Structure formats: structure tokens, C-alpha cells
Amino acid sequence: MNVHFTKTPFYLSLFDPLSLSLLLSLFKLPIWFRALHSHLSVLSREQKATTGTEMEGLQRSDGNYMQKVEVPRQRTSVDLLLRLLALALTLVSAITIGLSKQTKVVRAVVVASLPPLYVPVPARWHYISAFVYLLVANVIACSYATLSLVLVLISRKRPGDMNSILHSMILVLDILMVALLFSCNGASMAIGIIGYRGNSHLRWQKICNLFERFCGQVAASIAISVAGAMMFILMVAFSGLGIRKKSRS
């Protein structure tokens, strides 16, 4: 049976309406971050203005003051921005892989004396377990980024001894998210390379020359997921620097 199809340039598959809308959403992220940073700066100035009244309530009976433990505002603002960025990237990655599908109609010749058959051949993300893993991992990372963002905002308003325990727990979970995202990205990349290049030793044929748009959406989802994993790595790095400064002081 001979199958014939028309090849479309690979770069054209990236310009479908879904990819364009997601890219436009990513371009709007700096504007949202700038607005959030301005709001956090206003909160920081208000906190500094009320420091004197808060210290009066911490005075002991012997006239001394208790040492107030609080996280530096600048480092917390950076952490909030990184978590918001990780939330957006993992969400976009999950949406992209969840909507990746393509159906190609191929021309199949069974017998030369008979007219050819036109057979629809579908490609869906849930046909491959590595892409299912990619979707689930990004949904988990997005949900955790949302939860951790709320916890960090709460810890800003309630400084105390519980914050050190909370930050340690968040640090451990951040490391787990890094491992989770990189494992799913590695598995998806391995399948993607086989789909793009094939494997002549195992006689696995490449399929990305047929499903260009599907492979383009999968590649975009993996790239965005890697960017989200990098945000979690930066969170771990900032948390490590904060612990190091505390140990020195």
C-alpha cells in the first residue's frame, strides 16, 4: 500500500491561532509583573511607615524589645514574581499540550487497478504516555505554584517563627517540582526526537513530516515547560541564598 501526502513547511505549523494566542499572552506577562511589583512596593512603604507602632506592641515588661523576625521585602517580591511566572508558564504548557491534535487525510493506494482510498489519520496527545505525563506534571506544578503564591503572600503579613518552617517546606516542594518538570520534559523530548528523526535501527519511521502542526505544538509545550522549570530553579537558588545569609548573621 502506497501512502502519499503533501508536506507542509515545519515553521508554518507554529502560526496556528492557538500558538499565536498563547504567545500574545506571554508578551503581556511583563505588564502584569510590573503592576504587581508596583503594588508590592506600595505595601512595602506602608509596612515601613507602621514599623514604629508595631514595635510599641512588642515591648516587654522589663523595657526591652523583642527581635522581630521578618523576611526581606525585596527577596520576597522577587520570589512572588518567579512564582507568578512559573504559574503562567506551566499553565500555558499544559493548555498547549492538552489542545495538541491533528488529523491528516492521506491517499492510500491498495491495488493499482482500483481507485485510491483517502484515509483520515489522527494524532492526539493522549496516544503517547510521555505526553500524558507532560500534561499531568505541568498541571501539578501550576497548582502548586498557585498554592505557594498564596502561602508566600500570607507569610508576608504574618511574620514569626512559623515562617521558617513554612519556607523550609516550600523549598523542599520547589525542589520536587524541579525534578518533576525535568523528568517529564526529558521523557517528552525523547519521544519527540524519535517522531522528528525516527530510528533506523529499530525501523521506527518519523511522523513529524506528516503531522507538522501536532509536532510543533508539542515542541512549544516542552519549551514552555522547560522555562517553567527554570523559574523553579531560580526560586530554589534565591531560597538557598536566603538561608546562607541567615546562617552567617
* Count of positions (residues) in the chain: 249
Predicted pLDDT of residue 10: 43
Predicted pLDDT of residue 165: 79
Q: Report whether 226 contacts 185 (CB < 8 A).
A: yes
Predicted pLDDT of residue 6: 43
> In whole angstroms, what is the distance from residue 84 CA to residue 140 CA?
15
> In whole angstroms, what is the distance from residue 187 CA to residue 221 CA?
13
Q: Report whether 211 contacts 13 (CB < 8 A).
A: no
> In whole angstroms, what is the distance from residue 100 CA to residue 221 CA?
9
In sequence order, the 6+-apart residues with CB closer than 8 A to the CB of 90 are 138, 139, 141, 142, 145, 181, 225, 228
Angle at 74 between CA 70 and CA 77, to 5 degrees: 95
Predicted pLDDT of residue 214: 93
Q: Report whether 211 contacts 123 (CB < 8 A).
A: yes
Residue 16 has phi, psi (to 5 degrees) of: -80, 165
> In whole angstroms, what is the distance from residue 4 CA to residue 8 CA?
13
Predicted pLDDT of residue 202: 84
Q: What is the pLDDT along the chain (249 residues), one digit of tens a residue?
A: 444 444 444 444 444 554 555 555 555 555 555 555 555 555 555 555 544 444 444 444 444 444 444 445 556 788 889 999 999 999 999 999 999 999 988 888 778 788 888 889 899 999 999 999 999 999 999 999 999 999 888 877 766 656 777 888 899 999 999 999 999 999 999 999 999 999 888 888 888 988 999 999 999 999 999 999 999 999 999 887 877 766 665
Predicted pLDDT of residue 35: 55
**45-101, pLDDT tens digit by residue?**
555 554 444 444 444 444 444 444 444 555 678 888 999 999 999 999 999 999 999
Predicted pLDDT of residue 28: 53
Full-model pTM: 0.70
Q: Is residue 117 helix, strand or coil?
A: strand
